[in-house]
A and B are shown apart, each in its own frame.
Chain A
């Protein structure tokens, strides 16, 4: 496969391939963080996660249209505003859903699977009715497209760097909220023992709602970022849901560090295998490996130590 190439060419390709793996890692982290909060902390299997992401993408689409028409001078920075709005749009929708549906199902975790799957179908049809069945094109500011030539041969996609920076900052933000803030403490308390948490004066209902909302909001930001690399259509959310669950379950549901570690290992394995094997085969092998490891370690890579 590598005969007839000079060392510098190969070096450049491997550097770019390493970077491709890191981009995939960041994409996985962004996809999975919101679900890690909801599934990991609350135990809610949110099948509508992809649709909350796509809501963020549609918000980005609307904001880009608004800026193109009314504020063309500021078009270069609309993306940041779009991400903030996407966070609030998905977050508020998430809180409304929690209030209307999820809170009645906390004692029946498997039913949340069906209910949120139904919700995902409803949201898809709502998008289809509002924005049309066809995919919409989101115009990305010029400075975010294209690539950065590092050397003569190595080129690094700018949107990849953007996704990486975003993934790191959101991970840090979630980490601080979860482990360094009062809200985080309350969330963890409610997860560990709902009755006791209520007894010591934590507003468990509000904590649940806020947690669900923040999880969905993070999904919205991810969706906004993915307009750079993927499609925006009513059913585009379905493209992400399998990988998202894979990352969260493999990492160990309740562990944030686990999610990141699993995103890293899956993305590296997949991108390396994609390079040496064919695309479909890489996917099959990745899934087989994950299933194999989960058979030996059903709790995932990282699990909280619990007394049973």
Chain B
């Protein structure tokens, strides 16, 4: 993907640029009507950067740290694209405190020690003011000590298992309870589901998520029970046996957290085995398949499944329409946008808001300013940063369509509070 694609500005958010003001009185007059417009001259570098970060009189440098090679490139490419879009849009509005954002992109190469090494390089050598990055929990765990030692600031986009709250990370994706509980309650209330078969790839996120799901089903949902729980190694491609087991147990709901290449195999074989998900017998509910994954699975193979996320590309609101249009204009019409891609897009915007509230790029001040930061232009609607560094956001359920998009069938009325250490679910 080339870097020189035309960059669309966020139509309603464009403020006049610094050059325009210098150009003449008309522009100056215009700037008076946009009081939030900030000029670099008002913020001397020495005052807003006391810890030696990579901030000059007209630029600020941040890091992007994702895998663009290796297994995880499949998933992380969308995040990189969203972050670059957000950065370009912020720059088109005049940047942060009058400074344009420049980025240094490093490749984690789907290898966790490489992530740690590149994080150290970004923080120690490049002195970046913040980092947008990581995708898997394993990569986040690998960079965490580096960020805490060097007091860096990471915006982490993926929905994940929770059980973490670092002063050096803002989690823009959902932690497990935000993604799981509302979906289970919904399927129980509207579909009358009583029996659940839990299925997942064998690593920390599916296991922790299913643990929370099981606790919720057994302790908080009356008359409901788990009839099977099963894990398959990452990369497993043969699901015929488990499909037969599911037939035997006849659950109301298959709760699937299968990831990566296994995902494609699982849904193709489910369909080939004659289980028609549009009949909802059993109904399939997943928290691991976004629009991005459907591209690999094929819409016709997953039609009729339900997914529980906070964002779907098909969300019907003005913010999202602008976001989808801008994303496609920058990266191509055939792009699809999944939950994590949207969460990655929030990162630069939340950082911008926190820096402006703090009036400084210093990590300590940005951290202090972060709780309570809200972003009203979020494609998912409205989000706010909680004291625990996670986001308040809504939970939604989407029904997979043959064209690879989800139709939103449910959303929580209120924002769901993030609870990374849920009591009663451990």
Q: Do A and B bind each other?
A: yes
Residue pair A280, B232 in contact (C-beta under 8 Å): yes
Q: Which residue of B lies closest to A20 (CB)?
A: B240
Residue pair B272, A231 in contact (C-beta under 8 Å): no
Extra contacts besides A16-B247, A134-B74, A134-B77 (19): CB < 8 Å: A17-B241, A19-B240, A23-B240, A134-B296, A135-B261, A135-B296, A136-B295, A137-B294, A157-B274, A230-B237, A230-B261, A231-B261, A232-B296, A234-B73, A235-B261, A239-B235, A271-B240, A279-B236, A279-B242
Residue pair A278, B230 in contact (C-beta under 8 Å): yes
Q: Which residue of A lies closest to B231 (CB)?
A: A280
Residue pair A280, B272 in contact (C-beta under 8 Å): no
Residue pair B245, A275 in contact (C-beta under 8 Å): yes
Residue pair B272, A158 in contact (C-beta under 8 Å): yes
Kindly list chain B residues whose C-beta atoms are within 8 Å of the C-beta of A231. Answer: 237, 260-261, 263-265, 296-297
Residue pair A230, B241 in contact (C-beta under 8 Å): no
CA distance A132 to B301 in the complex (A): 22
Kindly list chain B residues whose C-beta atoms are within 8 Å of the C-beta of A128. Answer: 69, 73
Interface of B is mostly: helix
Residue pair B233, A279 in contact (C-beta under 8 Å): yes
CA distance A231 to B238 in the complex (A): 12
Q: Known interface pairs A135-B296, A137-B298, A280-B202. Does A229 touch B272 (Cβ–Cβ under 8 Å)?
A: yes
Q: Which residue of B lies closest to A158 (CB)?
A: B272
Q: Can you list, as one digit per residue, whether each of A192-212 has a CB less than 8 Å from chain B (1) or not (0)?
A: 000000000000000000000
Kindly list chain A residues whose C-beta atoms are within 8 Å of the C-beta of B293. Answer: 135
- Within 246-296 of B, Cβ neighbours of A (below 8 Å) are at 247-248, 260-261, 263-265, 268-269, 271-274, 292-296
Q: Which residue of B lies closest to A160 (CB)?
A: B272
Kindly list chain A residues whose C-beta atoms are within 8 Å of the C-beta of B294. Answer: 137
Kindly list chain B residues whose C-beta atoms are within 8 Å of the C-beta of A134. Answer: 74, 77, 292, 295-296
* Centre residue among B238, B268, B273, B293 by max chain A CB count within 10 A: B238
Kindly list chain A residues whose C-beta atoms are within 8 Å of the C-beta of B52. Answer: none
Does B51 have its Cβ within 8 Å of any Cβ on chain A?
no
Does B68 have its Cβ within 8 Å of any Cβ on chain A?
yes
CA distance A145 to B298 in the complex (A): 12
CA distance A157 to B263 in the complex (A): 18
CA distance A226 to B249 in the complex (A): 28
- Within 299-313 of B, Cβ neighbours of A (below 8 Å) are at 299-301
Kindly list chain A residues whose C-beta atoms are within 8 Å of the C-beta of B263. Answer: 231
Kindly list chain A residues whose C-beta atoms are within 8 Å of the C-beta of B271. Answer: 145-146
CA distance A236 to B247 in the complex (A): 28
CA distance A20 to B274 in the complex (A): 13
Kindly list chain A residues whose C-beta atoms are within 8 Å of the C-beta of B74. Answer: 133-135, 233-235
Q: How far is the CB of A217 from chain B (nearest CB, A)?
A: 22
Q: How far is the CB of A56 from chain B (nearest CB, A)?
A: 15
- Within 150-188 of A, Cβ neighbours of B (below 8 Å) are at 155, 157-160
CA distance A121 to B248 in the complex (A): 42
Q: Can you list, as one digit per residue, whether each of A115-156 has a CB less than 8 Å from chain B (1) or not (0)?
A: 000000000010010001111111100000111010000010
Assign chain B's interface to a size class: 35 or more
Kindly list chain B residues whose C-beta atoms are within 8 Å of the C-beta of A279. Answer: 202, 230-233, 236, 241-242
CA distance A146 to B248 in the complex (A): 19
Q: Known interface pairs A17-B241, A239-B235, A240-B237. Does A157 touch B272 (Cβ–Cβ under 8 Å)?
A: yes
Residue pair A17, B274 in contact (C-beta under 8 Å): no
What is the number of contacts between chain A and chain B, taking CB atoms within 8 Å? Answer: 140
Q: Which residue of B lies closest to A15 (CB)?
A: B244
Kindly list chain B residues whose C-beta atoms are within 8 Å of the C-beta of A236. Answer: 261
Residue pair B273, A278 in contact (C-beta under 8 Å): no
10 sample A-B contacts, Cβ–Cβ < 8 Å, listed by A number: A13-B247, A133-B77, A135-B293, A137-B297, A139-B298, A158-B272, A231-B263, A231-B296, A235-B70, A239-B235
Residue pair B264, A275 in contact (C-beta under 8 Å): no
Q: Which residue of A lies closest to B292 (CB)?
A: A134
Residue pair A274, B242 in contact (C-beta under 8 Å): yes
Does A37 have its Cβ within 8 Å of any Cβ on chain B?
no
Residue pair B69, A125 in contact (C-beta under 8 Å): yes
Q: Can you list, as one digit per residue, whether each of B353-391 has a CB less than 8 Å from chain A (1) or not (0)?
A: 000000000000000000000000000000000000000
CA distance A230 to B237 in the complex (A): 6
Assign chain A's interface to a size class: 35 or more
CA distance A135 to B244 in the complex (A): 27
Q: How far is the CB of A41 from chain B (nearest CB, A)?
A: 27
Residue pair B264, A147 in contact (C-beta under 8 Å): no
* Centre residue among B77, B243, B263, B264 by max chain A CB count within 10 A: B264
Q: Can you list, as one digit per residue, whether each of B206-229 has a CB less than 8 Å from chain A (1) or not (0)?
A: 000000000000000000000000
Q: How far is the CB of B197 from chain A (nearest CB, A)?
A: 12
CA distance A17 to B245 in the complex (A): 9
CA distance A155 to B243 in the complex (A): 12
CA distance A159 to B239 in the complex (A): 13
* Centre residue among A138, A139, A160, A236 by max chain B CB count within 10 A: A236
Kindly list chain A residues whose C-beta atoms are within 8 Å of the C-beta of B68. Answer: 133
Kindly list chain B residues whose C-beta atoms are within 8 Å of the C-beta of A20. Answer: 240-241, 243-244
Q: Which residue of B lies closest to A12 (CB)?
A: B247
Q: How far is the CB of A124 from chain B (nearest CB, A)?
A: 8
Kindly list chain A residues whose C-beta atoms are within 8 Å of the C-beta of B46. Answer: none
Q: Can you list, as one digit per residue, whether each of A241-274 has a CB less than 8 Å from chain B (1) or not (0)?
A: 0000000000000000000000000000011001
Residue pair A229, B237 in contact (C-beta under 8 Å): yes
Q: Can you list, as one digit per residue, whether each of B45-70 has a CB less than 8 Å from chain A (1) or not (0)?
A: 00000000000000000000000111
CA distance A115 to B70 in the complex (A): 18
Q: Known interface pairs A137-B295, A229-B268, A279-B236. Does A147 touch B273 (Cβ–Cβ under 8 Å)?
A: yes
Residue pair B233, A24 in contact (C-beta under 8 Å): no
Q: Which residue of B lies closest to A14 (CB)?
A: B244
Q: Known interface pairs A134-B74, A274-B242. Does A229 touch B295 (Cβ–Cβ under 8 Å)?
A: no
Kindly list chain A residues whose C-beta atoms are within 8 Å of the C-beta of B235. Answer: 238-239
CA distance A72 to B247 in the complex (A): 36
CA distance A136 to B269 in the complex (A): 17
Kindly list chain A residues whose C-beta atoms are within 8 Å of the C-beta of B295. Answer: 134-137
Kindly list chain B residues whose C-beta atoms are within 8 Å of the C-beta of A82. Answer: none
* Centre residue among A230, A234, A271 by max chain B CB count within 10 A: A230
Residue pair A238, B272 in contact (C-beta under 8 Å): no
Kindly list chain A residues whose C-beta atoms are within 8 Å of the C-beta of B248. Answer: 5, 9, 13
Does B150 have its Cβ within 8 Å of any Cβ on chain A?
no
Q: How far is the CB of B68 from chain A (nearest CB, A)?
A: 7
Does B71 have its Cβ within 8 Å of any Cβ on chain A?
yes
Residue pair A274, B241 in contact (C-beta under 8 Å): yes
Residue pair B296, A147 in contact (C-beta under 8 Å): no
* Centre residue among B71, B240, B274, B292 by max chain A CB count within 10 A: B240
Q: How far is the CB of B406 from chain A (nearest CB, A)?
A: 16
Does A27 have its Cβ within 8 Å of any Cβ on chain B?
yes
Residue pair A136, B232 in contact (C-beta under 8 Å): no
